[in-house]
Structure 1
Amino acid sequence: MQDEPTPTELIKAVADFLRNEITPAIKGHNAFKLRVAINGLDLVTRQLALEGDSDSAEAARLKQLLGIDGALLDLNRALSDKIAKGEVDLQTPGLADHLWQTTMDKLAVDQPNYASYKRELGNK
């Protein structure tokens, strides 16, 4: 185990420095590119914070849906194959809920400020 700061703390510190100290001094297309880079760092920070729990929950849902055990990537491939072959569809108990929750977990990392995502969080 490494000493503090953690990788998440380091990435956040760099993003905050760029956002607060460097961005105001940059203009034009370079300012746009800098904002893209900051957004990328923010995304990685959210992924590091959230992926463990969401991946575990996704794997548990897939194991229940498919009745098999395996790595998350393999379980997703198995589900994709079953959907492609018509063996499961939205009428399959639990599938729609699984797909919805997986989408919401991905949006929490990728687009947490997306208006529709926020609206759906409020509907829970």
Structure 2
Amino acid sequence: MQDEPTPTELIKAVADFLRTEIAPAVKGHNAFKLRVGINALDLVTRQLAQEGPGDAAEAVRLKALLGIDGSVTELNRALAEKIAKGEVDLSTPGLKEHLWQTTMDKLAVDQPNYASYKRELGNKA
């Protein structure tokens, strides 16, 4: 356990510094590369913040759906195998909801400003 600041806070601070202090002075292709780097830091920050709760919720859904225990990776592999074998499909109770929630959780990390994602969040409220 480390003292403050946390790794998430450090990454966010670097991204904010680059965005506000460095980016305005950078032009051309280097500005594009800098934006890519800032976006990567923002993505890592979101991933660190949401990975634990997201994986835990996904594991609970998968365990209920499959009736077995395991890591998220193992459970996803088992689900993929069942889908490939035709043992599970969208008519299977809970599968459609699980896939939708998993997609929404991934978008929250990867593309939180994606218009369709935001619209869907608004529909849930």
Between the aligned partners of 1:70 and 1:42, the Cα distance in structure 2 is 30
Aligned position for 1:19: 19
Identity of aligned residues (%): 84
Aligned position for 1:100: 100
Q: Pairwise mapping of residues 71-110 of structure 1 onto structure 2 (< 5 A)?
A: 71-110=71-110
User: Displacement of 1:72 after TM fit?
Assistant: 0.6
Q: In angstroms, what is the RMSD of aligned CA positions?
A: 0.3
User: Displacement of 1:38 after TM fit?
Assistant: 0.1
Between the aligned partners of 1:54 and 1:24, the Cα distance in structure 2 is 35
User: Displacement of 1:110 after TM fit?
Assistant: 0.3
Aligned position for 1:53: 53
Aligned position for 2:30: 30
Aligned position for 2:41: 41
> Unaligned regions of 5+ residues in structure 1, if any?
none
> Aligned partner of 1:46: which letter?
R
Equivalent residues, number: 124
Between the aligned partners of 1:119 and 1:55, the Cα distance in structure 2 is 24
Runs of 4+ in structure 1 off by over 3 angstroms are none
TM-score of the aligned structures, taking structure 2 as reference length: 0.99
TM-score of the aligned structures, taking structure 1 as reference length: 0.99
> Aligned partner of 1:75: which letter?
L
> Unaligned regions of 5+ residues in structure 2, if any?
none
